[in-house]
Structure 1
Amino acid sequence: MIRTKNITGIILAGGKSSRMGTDKGLLEINQKPFVTHIADALQPLVSEIMIVSDNSKYDVFGYRRILDVFKDSGPLDGVYSGLKASKTEYNLVLSCDIPLIKTIVLKQLIDSIDATNDVFQIESNGKTMPLVALYKKTCFRTFQELLVNHEKRLQFAVNQCKVKNIKLKHRYDHTITNVNTKQEFKLLNYEH
């Protein structure tokens, strides 16, 4: 059993949010910012929470904020920057646009840790979720090499590591809902 002191929570909040038109992690559902919902789900499982973002508005949450190392390189850089700054072997990495995430889903990732794999990612409805995943810190070396060579595709980078997919039980599918557009945000607020 991996103990929580060996896990860091990394929230990626560095996206351009071009479809939403505003910083997604700061949007609110039930009077709480997305980032707070995500941090609440991470809290029981990790020793530290970090937010990867160049936006100083995230400092209000009181977590360590990490800047992107490779600017404009998308989520791959976000994961890399978080892993590089992490002090623990295992790291739960989440995008800032999944406010319905639950601790029980993240615990499934921790429970699936084995000696063979480097990345443990959620699979839901046949889709893999590299931004609802547990990464070994050592992945950052592989990602660094790719970023230096101008690779920006996160899924491509993840596939260079040993990956284990964790099938999500259908009753939890809603917990990993991405909110990318104003319409999806409206729908989310309407349903909750």
Structure 2
Amino acid sequence: MMKTNLKDITGYILAGGKSSRMGTDKGLLLFEGKPMIQYVIEQMQPIFSKVVIVSNNPEYEKFGFEVIPDLIKDSGPAGGIYTALNHSDTKLNFMVSCDMPFVTAAAIEFVIKNSEESQIVLLENKARIEPLFGIYAKDCEPIWLELMEQKVIKLQEMVLRFQLKTIPVENNEIFATSFFKNINTKEDLNNALNRI
């Protein structure tokens, strides 16, 4: 098992653009009185010495972190990951979507602790790979760009082109049933609030 030095990992929050289904930036939507991205920040900040937000919206600067715009316009989460990899000066990078308010520091540390010499380390939940929560090596950047230029932008397909490690997490007490719930619609938001 690789002993990972946290100084060698940058934390990136993928805040994307305006959600057509929500009518606003998902990360700025209030969840229990706080913007959703704030929950992610609070869990990442104690772990990583450097946290960066990938977004075209300068409003995210109010959270006090560097905000970098997408290098490839309208390219979705794949473009956000590419932008982060291009920006990074660390060997490893931890990517998290801004719309995962149930993320915990314990879950982030679990992935880091279980990472090995792989280019990408992701969680697998009920046979589904979760590409928006995990480690991406800096050296993925050139092939990632090639895939995007070939119009391969479905994350589930892209990650399979790399040296990938998946960590099964079913029945793992660190991951509550709500952990993987992304908030994509107003109905999702209401359902999540009702579960609290």
TM-score by length of 2: 0.92
Distance in 1 (CA, whole Å) between partners of 2:20 and 2:123 is 25
Q: Structure 1 residue 190: deviation in Å?
A: 2.1
Query: Is contact 1:7–1:45 with CA below 8 Å preserved after alignment?
Result: no
**2:152 equivalent in structure 1:** 151
> Partner of 2:146: helix, strand, or coil?
helix
Deviations 1:89-128 (A, max 9, x none): 111101111111011111121012212x110001112211
Distance in 1 (CA, whole Å) between partners of 2:143 and 2:110 is 25
> Partner of 1:50: helix, strand, or coil?
strand
Q: Structure 1 residue 71: deviation in Å?
A: 0.6
The percent of aligned pairs where both chains have the same amino acid is: 36
Greater Cα offset, 9-18 or 67-76: 9-18
Query: Is contact 1:6–1:47 with CA below 8 Å preserved after alignment?
Result: no
**1:30 equivalent in structure 2:** 32
> Partner of 2:13: helix, strand, or coil?
strand
Distance in 1 (CA, whole Å) between partners of 2:195 and 2:183 is 13
> Partner of 2:193: helix, strand, or coil?
helix
Distance in 2 (CA, whole Å) between partners of 1:112 and 1:15 is 31
Greater Cα offset, 150-159 or 98-107: 150-159
Distance in 2 (CA, whole Å) between partners of 1:61 and 1:89 is 25
Query: Is contact 2:18–2:26 with CA below 8 Å preserved after alignment?
Result: no
**2:82 equivalent in structure 1:** 80
Distance in 1 (CA, whole Å) between partners of 2:30 and 2:6 is 28
Distance in 1 (CA, whole Å) between partners of 2:11 and 2:68 is 12
Which one of the candidate residues 158, 181, 185 is aligned to 1:181? 185
Deviations 1:15-71 (A, max 9, x none): 441122221100122222111100111122212111111011111111111111111
**1:142 equivalent in structure 2:** 143
> Partner of 1:174: helix, strand, or coil?
coil
**1:168 equivalent in structure 2:** 169
Distance in 2 (CA, whole Å) between partners of 1:7 and 1:44 is 13
Q: Which amino acid aligns with 1:118?
A: Q
Distance in 2 (CA, whole Å) between partners of 1:89 and 1:98 is 24
Which one of the candidate residues 64, 69, 72 is aligned to 1:70? 72
Query: Is contact 1:15–1:75 with CA below 8 Å preserved after alignment?
Result: no
**2:131 equivalent in structure 1:** 130
Structure 2 gap ranges (5+): none
Off by >4 Å, runs of 4+ in structure 1: none
Query: Is contact 2:17–2:56 with CA below 8 Å preserved after alignment?
Result: no
